[in-house]
Amino acid sequence: MSRLEIGTPAPSFSLVDQDERRVDLESLRGSGVILFFYPAAMTPGCTTEACDFRDSLVPLQDAGYRVLGV
């Protein structure tokens, strides 16, 4: 699979979340979704990114976004 360009819709996928619930991207189409990847957990850059999303979660949700971290 090639790298997506900014603004390109993500391909459909299904994953299980931290509570063992299935999340289907297709069911979220048409709503605001922020999909971010943190490939190296517990590293400064990825931790900072994840913490920023955590700290901004309420305003993002209030603006209609769902934040998904992979």
pLDDT digits (tens, 9 = 90+) for 17-63: 889 999 998 898 888 888 888 777 677 877 888 889 999 999 999 99
Query: How many other CB atoms sit within 10 Å of the CB of residue 53?
Result: 15
Instruction: Measure the CA–CA gap between 13 and 11, rounded to whole angstroms.
Output: 6
Q: Annotated catalytic, 46?
A: yes
Alpha helices (H) in the chain, listed in sequence order: 25-28, 44-55, 57-62
Out of 25, 28, 33, 46, which one is annotated catalytic?
A: 46
The pLDDT of residue 19 is 93
CA atoms within 13 A on the CB side of 61: 8
pLDDT in the model for residue 6: 85
d(CA 22, CA 42): 25
